[in-house]
Amino acid sequence: MIGITAFGAYLPRMRLQKKAIADANGWFDASLRGLGRGEKAVCNWDEDAITMAVEAATDCLGEESNRDPDGLIFASTSGPFLDRQHSVVIAEALNLNIDAIRTADVTASQRAATSALLFGLDIAAGNSASEVVVVASEHRRTQVATREEMLYGDGAAAIQIGDQNVIAEYIDSQSTADDFVDHYRADGSKYDYGWEERWVRDEGYLKIVPKAVNALLEKTQVSAAEIKHFILATDQGRVPGMIGKTLGLNGEAIADNLLDSVGITGAAHPMLLLAHRLEQAQPNDLILVVGFGQGCDAVLFRVTDAIGKNSPRFGVSGHLSRGRREENYNKFQSFNDLLDKGLGKRAEVDKQSYLTAMYRNRAFTTGFKGGKCSACGTIQIPMHRYCVNPQCGAGDTQQEYPMSNAVGHIATWTADELTFDFNPPAYFGMVVFDGGGRLMMDITEVDPEAFDTGVQVGVHFRVKQIDSQRGFRKYFWKAIQVQ
Amino acid sequence: MATGIKDKVAILGMGCSKFGERWDCEPADLMAEAFEECINDAGIEKNQIEAAWQATGIDTFNVGPGAIPLSMALRLPNIPVTKIENYCASGTEAFRAATYAVASGACDFALALGVEKLKDMGYGGLPQRSRGVTNDLHFPNVSAPGVFAQLAAGYTAKYSTNKEDLKRAMAHVSVKSHANGAKNPKAHLQRSITEDQAIRAPMIAEPIGLFDCCGVSDGAACAIVTTPEIARSLGKSDLVTVKALQLCVSNGEEVGFNDWDGSYIATTRHAVERAYNEAGIKNPREEISMTEVHDCFSITELVTMEDLRLSPEGGAVKDVLDGVFDAEGDLPCQIDGGLKCFGHPIGASGLRMLYEMYLQFQGRAGERQLSDPRLGLTHNLGGFPYQNVSSIAVVGRHEA
């Protein structure tokens, strides 16, 4: 039996209040006010599709060392690179065994994630890999004062596929191709260009989705009424209900699109909603996931008795409750490069990444591995030729020691108003890790009310620095207070 | 068997430019200004100088690399000239090199000159810059105030110091320095400030405010050294000799090993231990007449008093507030105004500190003159509290 063996999700903490957007832009387009309900999840300046994918995959994999996937597929239409495999960066940040692994990026469509899921299932079924993590992640770009700005959000989800401890068995799928261009984004364009909503609904969703779904139900001899979880990601709030009626689905089966709590996370959204529904799924439930974009993927799962055995640490619900209310729309615009902002002379320093040094050091900078001295047991990060313990000092005795799951506390810290930062003040301080090792680190997602010397922190993969001159970015790990 | 540097080298002459925003000066102008005073004070000819050391901290942003800038600025007579950089200890390092050159017998007259011109950068504070190819991959996003501010976090955690008391002590440090700098025509800032002004100043890096930070400025300072015998033969009396020169550099323990608690500077403690031995000082609080320490930030000066064993562990706040280190106190610190009033043209600072000591021992310190100073200690600290270079120089009257 092949199917889903684990799942996870990630939502950025910042929750932009949609009223703030509507208040700022309503003078220009009054219709935006009607969309100003609730909030949407938006990336901090140091998050992107890769960092969110690492978080979601970590949530999915958990801390068990016996889960060692040999496949990782990344799905997104907003990855930072056109040519540099995102799934490989993610695999290295997760410290997967890169000496024997299948990786791929799937892009260019809003059904990239469901297609990636199907590729993952194919790979596992074909024995090219035994455990495949499919992770979908989007950091959306929208123009100011648009409907899309009100409705899109950022987030990521991960689904692990395998044949051990399956929690939702893969039954079958139907995939159609259809060059229905409801929207597109060309190479070099920052934003999507979309067509009229009503046409997208009438000629798109209402025709293309039922065709694929009915074909799937037909060949699997399943009736629509039996579906307990129906997932169709769309920014058109009424469409899933309309399709439900056409197909004969149970009203309760239709997954909430989280329009007013997250926003539509693009290609990641079907997977995010799947991760959400899996939290409530019961043994024997049928789940039908639809991916819509240049055609349709319809994928059918049946939940097993093992559901509840491999739950994520946070999942969608966990992240929904960990939000931080943000009312400053200007901050969101600033983080998303929507303003022609004067950053000051300190921002002018060259941010070149030297690729040779980056490659040599990636066990530390991407994988957050330190070293453990075999002579005295001292843990140190970064790993070094010579042991840092003044009583030891032995040379060439350290073994790589993974520390990306390490927890520690803040021994000293400051809030620096002087150094250039996209979200000042820049917090940084000495993290002392439980069990050994310490490092002076950037600290992010600080709540000034809750933060002080002594607080517990974990480490998270984030954007360290953006080189806009060359279109590159450094990644490293930052400390975040444990909530 | 080595016996240290004590009394082997004397300062023959010193010079110091006016420090400040010298908008109309090239680095060469600053070097000439300091050098002219120095060579006149020394009473020798330029062509008698046999070797020179130039200290500049961030050469990329001012004079450029190598030692050519010094040689060309002063038209030195094709002698060996070396560029020294060791963060904020650069000036003291140039002095140390010149001192060793004379003590070794390799030359009779050696020049140490520190120069820095940072005010072409276009903004306040030290230039934002690369920390090195690999370091840039993982160093946190630091500024100098940000890294030093953490001494406060470490100190208050260790001694359970009341945050308001620490803020007041930090303010007192700056008020005291400004009172001294107001009497110094070469200082950049020559006005007094109040404790209230210091406490209410805008925050730079919690808990360091604007008035807890030294400024960035342009300046140069220099020294010519020789042996005491040669100095006497040239008619000098009231000789000021070098008693100790020590340096300590971090090896990674503070930042990588779980021992250091962030409340003190480990390297200063190592360096001063060796310096007191070298100078034969048994009771520093009694024997040292004055100090010029690295007050890049008021908190640095405060913990340095403990690092130098001039205050007991956890006792610096009380000593500062009691006025021990004020001009009228038992052990004046920054009698010339310190980095706080001079600013910190990096390569020049260590030599500027020695310049004040030199004037004080010769009774030439004007309104700032202390009565009967015998031994003085200078201290520089470059880098970050957790990864740095610390230098100590002890100078004094030859017979002290």
Nearest-by-Cβ selection for A415 from B129, B157, B206: B206
Q: Which residues of B touch A (CB under 8 A)?
A: 121-123, 125, 127-130, 133-134, 136-143, 145-147, 149-151, 153-154, 156-157, 202-206, 208, 252-253, 255-259, 261-262, 384, 386
Task: Give B51-91 pLDDT, tens digit per residue.
Answer: 999 999 999 889 999 999 999 999 999 999 999 999 999 99
pLDDT reading at B116 higher than 60: yes
**Which residues from B are below 8 Å from A348, CB to CB?**
128
Other C-beta atoms closer than 10 Å to the C-beta of B41 total 18
Q: Is the dihedral of CA A95, A98, A102, A104 positive or negative?
A: positive
Neighbours of B93 (CB within 10 A): 26
Residue A310 has pLDDT above 90, yes or no: no
What DSSP string runs through A455-468?
A: -EEEEEEEEEEEET
CA pair distance A119, A141, nearest whole angstrom: 27
CB atoms within 10 A of CB B46: 15
> Among all residues of chain B, which has the CA nearest to that of A378?
B257
Cross-chain Cβ contact B205/A361 below 8 Å: no
Q: Please list, in sequence order, all residues whose beta carbon lies within 8 angstroms of the beta carbon of residue B216, skipping any fewer than 6 positions away.
A: B118, B119, B121, B124, B125, B126, B343, B344, B345
DSSP A266-303: GGGHHHHHHHHHHHH--TT-EEEEEEESSEEEEEEEEE
Q: What type of residue sits at position A186?
A: A
Burial of A434 (0-12, 13-18, 19+ CB in 10 A): exposed
The string of pLDDT tens digits covering residues B336-386 is 999 999 999 999 999 999 999 999 999 999 999 999 999 999 999 999 999
For the cut 70, the answer to whether the pLDDT of residue A208 exceeds it is: yes
Q: Between the CA of residue B163 and those of A456, B160, B176, B194, B299, what are the distances in Å?
A: 22, 9, 20, 19, 12
What's the confidence (pLDDT) of residue A354? 96
Contacts (Cβ under 8 Å, ≥6 apart) of A7: A60, A157, A158, A159, A160, A167, A274, A275, A278, A310, A312, A315
What residues are paired with B51 via a beta bridge?
Answer: B110
Phi, psi dihedrals of residue B114, rounded to the nearest 5°: -110, 135
**ipTM at complex level:** 0.91
Phi then psi dihedrals of residue A68, to 5 deg: -130, 80
Q: What is the DSSP letter of A201?
A: I
Tokens coding A190: 């920052």
Omega into A402 within 30° of 0, i.e. cis? Answer: no
pLDDT per position as a tens digit, B278-316: 999 999 999 999 999 999 999 999 999 999 999 999 999
- Compute the half-sphere exposure of residue A67: CA atoms within 13 Å on the CB side of its CA: 22
Q: What angle do CA B285, B165, B198 make, to 5 degrees?
A: 95
Q: B interface mutation test: which of A419, A444, A451, A463 has the most B CBs within 10 A?
A: A419
pLDDT at B400: 64
- Assess whether pLDDT exceeds 70 at residue A66: no
Contacts of A452 (CB under 8 A, 6+ apart): A410, A413
Which of B136, B259, B299, B384 should we substitute to test contact with A (largest number of A Cβ atoms within 10 Å)? B136
Under the phi-then-psi rule, with left for phi > 0, alpha for psi from -120 to 50, and beta for the rest, what region is B281? beta
Domains and CATH numbers, chain B: 10-119+218-233 (3.40.47.10), 143-188+242-395 (3.40.47.10)
Residues in chain B: 400
Residue numbers in A near B253 (CB within 8 A): 388, 390
3-state secondary structure of A25: helix
Half-sphere exposure at residue A335, Cβ-oriented, CA atoms within 13 angstroms: 21
- Cα separation, B202 vs B208, in Å, equals 9
- Helix (H) / strand (E) containing A124: helix A112-125
- The mean predicted confidence, pLDDT, of chain A is 96
Which residues partner with A380 through β-bridges? A371
Cα separation, A40 vs A25, in Å, equals 16
Q: Do the two domains A3-335 and A403-481 of this chain adopt the same fold?
A: no
Tell me the per-residue pLDDT of A107-116, one tens digit each, with 9 for 90 and over.
999 999 999 9
Beta carbons of A445 and A13 less than 8 angstroms apart: yes
Chain B residues near residue A416 by CB distance under 8 angstroms: 141-143, 145-146, 149, 204-205
Q: Where are the domains of chain A?
A: 3-335, 403-481
Question: What is the DSSP pairing of strand B110-116 with strand B219-226?
Answer: antiparallel
Class of A403-481 in CATH: mainly beta
Q: Which pair of tokens denotes residue A94?
A: 């997760």
Query: Does position A64 have pLDDT exceeding 90, yes or no?
Result: no
Q: How confident is the model at residue A65 (pLDDT cuts 50, 70, 90)?
A: low
Q: At A256, is the pLDDT very low, low, confident or very high (cuts 50, 70, 90)?
A: very high
**Chain-chain contact of A419 with B143 (C-beta, under 8 angstroms):** yes
| B86 close to B382: Cβ distance less than 8 angstroms | yes
Helix (H, G, I), strand (E, B) or coil at A337: coil
Q: Residue A142, SS3? A: coil
Strands (E) in B31-128, as ranges, are: 51-55, 81-84, 110-116
Burial of B164 (0-12, 13-18, 19+ CB in 10 A): exposed
Amino acid at B320: V
Segment A231-257 shows an average pLDDT of 97
**Three-state DSSP state, A357:** helix
Q: Which among A433, A444, A306 has a CA at the least distance from the CA of A13? A: A444
DSSP A398: E
Q: How many CB pairs below 8 A link A and B? A: 140
Number of other residues whose CB lies within 10 A of the CB of residue B186: 20
CA distance B225 to A47: 57
Q: Distance from CA of residue B11 to its chain's centroid?
A: 17
How confident is the model over A178-206, as a mean pLDDT?
97
Q: How far apart are the first and last CA of chain B?
A: 24
H or E segment and range at residue B348? helix B346-361
Contact predicate A461/A342, CB 8 Å: no
**In Å, how far is B261's CA from the nearest CA of chain A?**
7
Angle at B213 between CA B212 and CA B218, to 5 degrees: 150
Q: Are A260 and A274 in contact (CB under 8 A)?
A: no
- Enter the tokens of residue A426: 């820049």
When CB atoms are compared, the residue of A348, A416, A453 closest to B145 is A416
CA distance A255 to A243: 12
Closest CB to B150 among A389, A412, A474 = A412
Q: Is there a contact between A419 and B146 if contact means CB atoms under 8 Å apart? A: yes
Burial class (CB in 10 A: 0-12, 13-18, 19+), B91: buried
Among A424, A407, A408, CA closest to A416: A424
Band (B259; pLDDT cuts 50, 70, 90) = confident
Q: Quick check: B205 and A414 CB within 8 A?
A: yes
Chain A residues within 8 A of B259 when measuring between CB atoms: 390
pLDDT tier, B335 (very low <50, low <70, confident <90, very high otherwise): very high
| pLDDT at res. A67 | 72
Q: How many helices (H) and strands (E) does chain A have?
A: 13, 22
* CATH fold of A3-335: Peroxisomal Thiolase; Chain A, domain 1 (3.40.47)
User: Which residue type does A104 have?
Assistant: A
Mean pLDDT of the B209-233 span: 97
List B379's β-bridge partners, or say none.
B392
A 10 A CB-CB count for A441 gives: 24
- What is the model's pLDDT at position A63? 72
pLDDT of residue A41: 98
A402, amino acid identity: P
On the question of pLDDT at A202 being above 80, the answer is yes
In chain A, residues 356-395 whose CB comes closer than 8 Å to chain B:
357-358, 360-361, 364-365, 378, 380-382, 384, 388-390
How far apart CA A296 and CA A190 sit, in angstroms, is: 25
Computed over every residue of chain B, the mean pLDDT equals 97
Cβ-contact A99, A56 below 8 angstroms: no
Interface contact B203-A417, CB threshold 8 A: yes
Q: Is A214 exposed, middle or buried (0-12, 13-18, 19+ CB in 10 A)?
A: middle
Q: What percent of chain B has pLDDT over 70?
A: 100
Residue A347 DSSP one-character state: G
* B-chain residues near A354 (CB < 8 A): 133
What's the rounded Cα separation, in Å, for the pair A200 and A151? 16
B381, B294 Cβ separation under 8 angstroms: yes
Asked if B257's CB is within 8 angstroms of A388's CB, the reply is yes
Kindly determine whether residue A439 and residue B255, on different chains, have CB atoms separated by under 8 Å. Answer: yes
Residues forming a β-bridge with B292: B378
Contact in structure between B16 and B355 (CB atoms under 8 Å)? yes
Q: Which two tokens stand for residue B371?
A: 């009565």
Rounded to whole angstroms, the maximal C-alpha distance in chain B is 58
